[in-house]
């Protein structure tokens, strides 16, 4: 019995039975995750997670925070996760990964009336390019020699582009479309430069049975979706 209890304790099952809550932190990053008019966390990634949790008989607390805080909490605090997160080689060892939840296409955007004409990241090195803190899109561009002007949140980049603080915005295509429509701002897509899957990234303390059960539910959902295509 002691050996069995020790195994359960190592896996985090005992702590969960005693009342530990698992936090799913996210940011304002539509259409994947954002607050609706009632103050609830919604979006396509959120829907996927809520559906998988219900199918697996699991529960979690959804919280919307500034991205840098949400990401840091998942790194440093036990039983905390963050989504929608790009799975990169630099991040791989930091988290237990669950997903994918959705896919994202990364692209560069300018104002519709802008005279900027570029076809690759290498052509943006002399321009003012916007992203936000701890964002994988901006980090990817930085590693390819593009100086990035960082905002605290993605939504700020719409106003920075409109006011001329930045010349180009690098972000997920779906997010740019959503925020531009919301702000009534016409954008011009310059070029696409990457396609990625987005995940739930969890602190390694997450119980094995929780991550495995949630992954199974997501795998079944993704298999059903592929079968319908």
Q: Match 């701002």 to its residue by tokens.
A: 185
Q: Are residues 147 and 89 in the same domain?
A: no
Q: Are residues 61 and 128 in the same domain?
A: no
Q: Are residues 30 and 81 in the same domain?
A: yes
Q: Are residues 98 and 17 in the same domain?
A: yes
> What share of the chain in percent tops pLDDT 70?
91
pLDDT tens-digit readout, 69-104:
999 999 999 999 999 999 999 999 999 999 999 999
Q: Are residues 110 and 189 in the same domain?
A: yes
Q: Are residues 176 and 214 in the same domain?
A: no
Domain containing residue 187: CATH number: 3.40.190.10
Six token digits for residue 15: 């702590």
Which of the four pLDDT bands, split at 50, 70 and 90, describes residue 194?
very high
Q: Are residues 10 and 38 in the same domain?
A: yes
Over its C-alpha atoms, the chain yields an Rg (Å, rounded) of 19
Q: Are residues 20 and 127 in the same domain?
A: no
Measured between alpha carbons, how far is 75 from 203 in angstroms, rounded to an integer? 6
- Give the residue numbers spanning the domain of 40: 2-103+197-228
The answer to whether residue 9 scores a pLDDT higher than 70 is: no
Which of the four pLDDT bands, split at 50, 70 and 90, describes residue 22?
very high
The answer to whether residue 20 scores a pLDDT higher than 80 is: no
């Amino acid at each position: 019995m002691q050996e069995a209890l020790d195994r359960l304790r190592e896996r985090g099952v005992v702590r969960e039975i005693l009342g530990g809550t698992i936090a799913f932190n996210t940011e304002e990053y539509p259409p994947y995750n954002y607050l609706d008019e009632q103050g609830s966390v919604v979006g396509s990634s959120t829907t996927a997670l809520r559906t998988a949790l219900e199918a697996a008989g699991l529960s979690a607390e959804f919280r919307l925070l500034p991205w840098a805080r949400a990401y840091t909490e998942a790194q440093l605090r036990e039983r905390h996760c963050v989504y929608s997160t790009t799975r990169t080689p630099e991040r791989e060892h930091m988290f237990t990964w669950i997903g994918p939840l959705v896919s994202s296409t990364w692209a560069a955007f300018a104002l519709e009336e802008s005279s900027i004409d570029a076809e690759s990241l290498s052509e943006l090195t002399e321009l003012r390019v916007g992203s936000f803190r701890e964002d994988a899109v901006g980090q990817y561009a930085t590693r390819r020699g593009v100086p990035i002007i960082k905002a605290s949140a993605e939504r700020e980049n719409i106003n920075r582009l409109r006011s001329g603080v930045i010349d180009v915005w690098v972000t997920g295509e779906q997010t740019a479309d959503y925020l531009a429509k919301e702000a009534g701002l016409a954008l011009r897509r310059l070029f696409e430069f990457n396609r990625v899957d987005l995940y739930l990234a969890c602190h390694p303390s997450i119980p094995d049975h929780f991550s495995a059960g949630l992954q199974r539910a997501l795998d079944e959902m993704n298999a059903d979706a592929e079968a319908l295509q």
